[in-house]
Structure 1
Amino acid sequence: MNAVVAPEPEFPALDADRRVLLARLVEGLGPAQLYAAAAWIAARAEPGAPRLRAEAAPAAAERLTVVYGSQTGNARRVAERLARRAEAAGLPVRLLRAGAYPQRELAQERQLVVVVSTQGEGEPPDDARGFVEFLAGRRAPKLPGLRYAVLALGDSSYPQFCAVGRLLDARLAELGASRLAPLGEADVDVEAVAGPWSEQALARAREALQAAAPAAVRAVPLHAVPAPPAHDRDRPFAAAVLANQRIVSRDSAREVRHVELSLEGSGLRYEPGDALGVWPRNPPALVAQWLEALRLDGDEPVAWQGRTLPLAQWLERERELTRLTRGWLAAHASAGRHVGLLRLLRPEHAAELAALLDGHQPVDLLRLHPSPWEAEALVAALRPLTPRLYSIASSPKAVGEEVHLTVAVVDYEAHGARHWGAASSFLAAAAADGDARVPVFVEPNERFRLPADPARDVVMIGPGTGVAPFRAFVQERRETGARGRNWLFFGNRHFAQDFLYQVEWQEALKQGHLHRLDLAFSRDGARTGAQAAGSAPRTYVQQRLREQGRELYAWLQDGAHLYVCGDAARMARDVHAALADIAVAHGGHTPESAQAWLDDLLQQGRYARDVY
């Protein structure tokens, strides 16, 4: 049974505009910050009570500013940890998301740390685009008085590894700033680099601040630095499985499951738009494949970095087995002296390498290109297993202390063998009628929030499992009585097999909680003649966008917020191109001004993307 959730409080003494301002003010604050704000407001209201006075903010020369640009939460988490360390060391510090950084203040900054990730083909996170463009552009000021440090996060499997961080580091130096610390470059195992680098950067910042204002170095948080919750990435909560059911037909080519987990007693809180981190285990059958291919004993004890575990346990719980990376490919090719594989690591073969990484798992290389591996060397060469993030498919106002997920199960045949995904297989096997527990944590996504003004319209574009956060959005808007309209674009392969949450969407339409629903099922259509041979045109959500372009543009011009969730490599790019075409066709834009218009929507927070 779902918990009974108290309704949102009303504020009859406040008009609509002030209620919106209040909502924006408290957005993203945790319980501790909310209680502190409430106490401060209450103290101001007491007759005759002394007025609370905010402590004067230190001058720019006396503070450390930490700015982060994050797509999946890693850069935000590192920046928050660094800011907490700075406070503990007695440094006046302010922490800001790149999209919220006041660019006019850059010329006055004296101590700056930037933590930024790189996504896709060397692109900045959505919330850092404006910050990066400003620094790279002609309006960026000269910065001879600035000392800075940049920590770049990336994935070495991609050619443009840490490209955004490298760009910012070089550009700040070009503008006359001097480095507090050398550029840090962190791979997927972020903390291995981020921890030591943060200590070095903070030590240099403290020295610089003491030299500038010896008496002023004391902890004055200029922007809320969130306190770590009881359960987080490093201390996950063991969530009980409440429901786990298939939500596609039995003849669907893909398995998609709806999973409900209990957060009761965890203290974890989330908002629609956030993600749930899941710490998986690799499927036992996959571990068996590795041991068989390598002819290694799973019971063999392996000591690594102060821990000793059986090899099979290292492979199941501690090491990444399903994602083929450039680093593992290089190590495996070197171990077996595979000239052909080593050739792919050269820059001129980047396209072939990308195709190999995309179409194979590491176990395929073990079979196709055998190499001799000792157990300890294998554990050392493999990346640590990392959590997977799933867009949350529920609103806590509707489901209480539960969290719902929409999971596409990775399970397919390729290269003569069966392949699995780590987290999706782990979740699919977690039975609701047993004692299964799933280690989870909440990953906030500040960039993917419903508008603070409940009268705003929202447009949601979510093909496949990308529809998950929009289930949460519609639940939230229903529970809060939001007056704005809701328009969903959904697509998948087949109407009869893959229409995720069909009954819920139909009920939402009937009840007036969903106002428009546009569908695109790419594989449905006449299959005769040439079409049967595979040449039939396929309909995707971007085509539906163009068909409804005039009205969609009108919604956006009237202030609607636009959200996109799903595949970054193809769908998100195609949707972005369709939106630009709509601006040209129905808004009188040139192709150049259409891109500028979309960039402006991104900067306003009215165009948000949760892509992966």
Structure 2
Amino acid sequence: MDKKFLVLYGSQTGTAEEVAERLWKKMKCLHFQGPVKAMDDYKVINLINEKLVIFVCSTTGQGEEPDNMKNFWKFLLRKNLPTHSLSNLSFAVLGLGDSSYAKFNFVAKRLYRRLTQLGGTPLLPVGLADDQHDLGPDAVIDPWENNLISSICINHKISSEVNSESAEHLLTRYRAVVVQDAELSESTPSAEKEGIEDPELRGWSKEHPVIAVVKENIRITSKDHFQDVRLLKFSTGSLEYSPGDVLTVCPSNLAENVKKFFEVTSFNPDQRICLYPNDPDVTSPSSKFRPVSQGGGGGVTVRECAEKVWDLSRQPGRQTLALMSTFSPNELEKEKLEELSSTEGQEEYLSYVCRLRRTMVEVLSDFPFTAAALTLDQIFDVLRPIRPRAFSIASSSKAHPGEIHLLVAVVNYKTKIVAPRLGLCSNWLARTVPGEKIPIWIRKGSLRFPSESTIPMVMVGPGTGVAPFRSFISEQVALEKASADSLVLFFGCRNSSGDFLCGDEWDNLSGSKKLTFFCAFSRDQPDKVYVQHLIKEQRNLLQNLMLERKGVFMVAGNAKSMPSQVKEAMLEALQIKDDQEKFINMLEVQGRLQTETWS
């Protein structure tokens, strides 16, 4: 019987990729052959020839598919696909979601239905993992994985004993080979050495970024305000972008974490290494890790890996701890790691890692014998790569030529651990200085602003959620199309003196009749006032803009409860009492209700 398989994942975080690789390893232990790939890295037209595919996907925003799944999903939704297209396919879908969102695991549910519509045969019901579960997403993932493996074993008449620990489980994905600097060749293309290439030739991406120069890095909240928010300005030459676009950066690890990493491991930071896949199904390493003889950059130093490749700030998953246990030479540490990574140890794992937000470098410090014994081969499996972070652009290339602006809230909070928890990218950006160069690339965001300036725009952006609306409003002002009659902004913050982001700009635009502006200062009076309260108060204005003039309503900001409360306030202001869901769906289909939210 054919034992080919495929694992595909779609996610904007590393969780889905980690779960996908865990499933891939389990399938390899069953002696199946096949790769694990991001959905958009796979030629979806070949899906018709696949026999067994496992899908792992998350849901972004308010029910949208992740960026590395968009092309795959667009193809799958084609109306001309025959209903028997995937009649030879057996599949499983695992969704990673958060039930605090209105459209919980929406993408996984839709994918499961679509694959079934096209003739695919599900091996088991769709798995709906929930971050809000008391035991975290693993409460669903673990039994779902076990049921999937059991189903595959039955279908392929494989003994359940094969599903036990296997020698192949110890096989690392890559073999790291130390090379000498002398092996580097001057003939190596400069674009490969620097990771930079003409975007006109290749397009912007992590492998081919544009270099931006930090122009300004200003704290725009008061010094005594608990939240440090930065307005960052970058010089970008003639780079063009549109309102709603997103700037993506790949941060470096914080210096203190790099220092700590080398204190607890035994690696030589100056060694240069090249990577070779240990398995034909493993994705080839990026060009900088390949030797010159294979057209690569000739390797990367361990120091550069610790600074720019491995994510030392992420919280390790249970799979990571399980890997560390297999690599550990110390019985006590091995036993503890096995306990933390076991199904029975989920509660202890949550207490040790999740609730305290313990980082990877701190875990390595807590298991010193294991950390010191890790080899270069093993560390590439134990540590995940740093993932790019995306920020809504807060400027207009027409209003701010040659510049890109970001509004960045610096993540810094306390748990029971003494050291503060620091968000990697926000703190890295906050530490940049004028003149510093950083690689960036731009992609389309989820917001689609209307091209006609006469279409009314109702924009709701508390805190740094105001960024994409600053971009759009700035562009309308630059084009001399801004009017208080069509541009309405609801902004929310705590204090007029603490975190009134870009307050002078909004007041000036409002005073010159280019913007209708409402601000909810939630803590400036005894009773808290939020944007949803102001929306309800402006029912006459909302009814005119949305019902009579067919305007567009956009929401951006924190995803926890604000978006749903704002939608409820909109429905109340518009006096939509019956068929509310139908009305919301109508607005969304017409592009007149759009959200861009983040956790």
TM-score by length of structure 2 reads 0.63
- Give the superposition deviation at 1:123: 4.5
| Cα distance between partner residues in 1 of 2:119 and 2:266 | 53
Task: State the match for 1:411 in structure 2.
Answer: 412
Alpha-carbon distance change, 423 to 587 in structure 1, aligned in 2, over 3 angstroms: same
- Give the superposition deviation at 1:605: 1.0
Task: State the match for 1:360 in structure 2.
Answer: 357
Judge conservation of contact 1:153–1:165 (CA < 8 Å) in 2.
Answer: no
| Cα distance between partner residues in 2 of 1:379 and 1:562 | 45
Gaps of 5+ in 2: 1-8, 18-36, 128-198, 277-288, 290-298
| Cα distance between partner residues in 2 of 1:141 and 1:241 | 48
| Cα distance between partner residues in 2 of 1:354 and 1:452 | 50
- Give the superposition deviation at 1:286: 2.0
Alpha-carbon distance change, 241 to 421 in structure 1, aligned in 2, over 3 angstroms: same
Whether 1:118 and 2:58 are equivalent positions in the alignment is: yes
Whether 1:495 and 2:512 are equivalent positions in the alignment is: no
| Cα distance between partner residues in 1 of 2:352 and 2:556 | 24
Task: State the match for 1:174 in structure 2.
Answer: 116
1:232-273 Cα offsets, whole Å, 9 max, x none, are 2321111111222111112121211111112215xx431100
| Cα distance between partner residues in 2 of 1:153 and 1:237 | 35
Judge conservation of contact 1:287–1:316 (CA < 8 Å) in 2.
Answer: yes
Task: State the match for 1:99 in structure 2.
Answer: none
| Cα distance between partner residues in 1 of 2:380 and 2:38 | 26
Judge conservation of contact 2:395–2:474 (CA < 8 Å) in 1.
Answer: yes
Gaps of 5+ in 1: 1-67, 92-108, 186-225, 527-536
Task: State the match for 1:395 in structure 2.
Answer: 396
Amino acid at match of 2:519: L
SS in 1 for 2:406: strand
Judge conservation of contact 1:314–1:379 (CA < 8 Å) in 2.
Answer: no
SS in 2 for 1:405: strand
1:52-76 Cα offsets, whole Å, 9 max, x none, are xxxxxxxxxxxxxxxx99989x99x
- Give the superposition deviation at 1:350: 8.2
Alpha-carbon distance change, 344 to 329 in structure 1, aligned in 2, over 3 angstroms: closer
Alpha-carbon distance change, 174 to 391 in structure 1, aligned in 2, over 3 angstroms: closer
Judge conservation of contact 1:394–1:404 (CA < 8 Å) in 2.
Answer: yes
| Cα distance between partner residues in 2 of 1:121 and 1:230 | 25
Task: State the match for 1:192 in structure 2.
Answer: none
Alpha-carbon distance change, 176 to 406 in structure 1, aligned in 2, over 3 angstroms: closer
| Cα distance between partner residues in 2 of 1:126 and 1:305 | 29
Describe how 1:274-353 pairs up with structure 2 within 5 A.
274-292=245-263, 294=264, 296-297=266-267, 299=269, 301=271, 303=273, 305-306=275-276, 307=289, 309-326=300-317, 327-328=319-320, 330-331=322-323, 336-337=333-334, 342=339, 346=343, 353=350
Judge conservation of contact 2:251–2:424 (CA < 8 Å) in 1.
Answer: yes
Q: What do you get for the CA RMSD once the two structures are aligned?
A: 5.0
Task: State the match for 1:557 in structure 2.
Answer: 547
- Give the superposition deviation at 1:284: 0.5
Whether 1:273 and 2:244 are equivalent positions in the alignment is: yes
- Give the superposition deviation at 1:576: 2.1
Judge conservation of contact 1:269–1:442 (CA < 8 Å) in 2.
Answer: no
Judge conservation of contact 1:329–1:341 (CA < 8 Å) in 2.
Answer: yes
Task: State the match for 1:605 in structure 2.
Answer: 591
| Cα distance between partner residues in 1 of 2:303 and 2:66 | 40
SS in 2 for 1:396: coil
Alpha-carbon distance change, 588 to 384 in structure 1, aligned in 2, over 3 angstroms: closer
Judge conservation of contact 1:143–1:176 (CA < 8 Å) in 2.
Answer: yes
Judge conservation of contact 2:462–2:557 (CA < 8 Å) in 1.
Answer: yes
SS in 2 for 1:452: coil
Task: State the match for 1:8 in structure 2.
Answer: none
SS in 2 for 1:589: coil
| Cα distance between partner residues in 1 of 2:539 and 2:335 | 52
SS in 1 for 2:428: helix
Task: State the match for 2:581 in structure 1.
Answer: 595
1:272-298 Cα offsets, whole Å, 9 max, x none, are 001000121111012223444x35456
| Cα distance between partner residues in 1 of 2:242 and 2:335 | 49
SS in 2 for 1:608: strand
Whether 1:250 and 2:223 are equivalent positions in the alignment is: yes
TM-score by length of structure 1 reads 0.62
- Give the superposition deviation at 1:579: 2.1
1:379-405 Cα offsets, whole Å, 9 max, x none, are 321111111101000111111121111
- Give the superposition deviation at 1:597: 1.3
| Cα distance between partner residues in 2 of 1:482 and 1:508 | 9
Alpha-carbon distance change, 271 to 152 in structure 1, aligned in 2, over 3 angstroms: farther
SS in 1 for 2:398: helix
Amino acid at match of 1:606: R
Whether 1:444 and 2:415 are equivalent positions in the alignment is: no
| Cα distance between partner residues in 2 of 1:311 and 1:464 | 39
Task: State the match for 1:574 in structure 2.
Answer: 562
| Cα distance between partner residues in 2 of 1:553 and 1:333 | 61
Describe how 1:25-424 pairs up with structure 2 within 5 A.
117-119=57-59, 123-125=63-65, 143-144=83-84, 167-168=109-110, 170-175=112-117, 177-178=119-120, 229-264=202-237, 268-292=239-263, 294=264, 296-297=266-267, 299=269, 301=271, 303=273, 305-306=275-276, 307=289, 309-326=300-317, 327-328=319-320, 330-331=322-323, 336-337=333-334, 342=339, 346=343, 353=350, 356-357=353-354, 359-362=356-359, 363-366=361-364, 372-373=370-371, 374-376=373-375, 377-414=378-415, 415-424=417-426
Task: State the match for 2:430 in structure 1.
Answer: 428
Task: State the match for 1:458 in structure 2.
Answer: 457
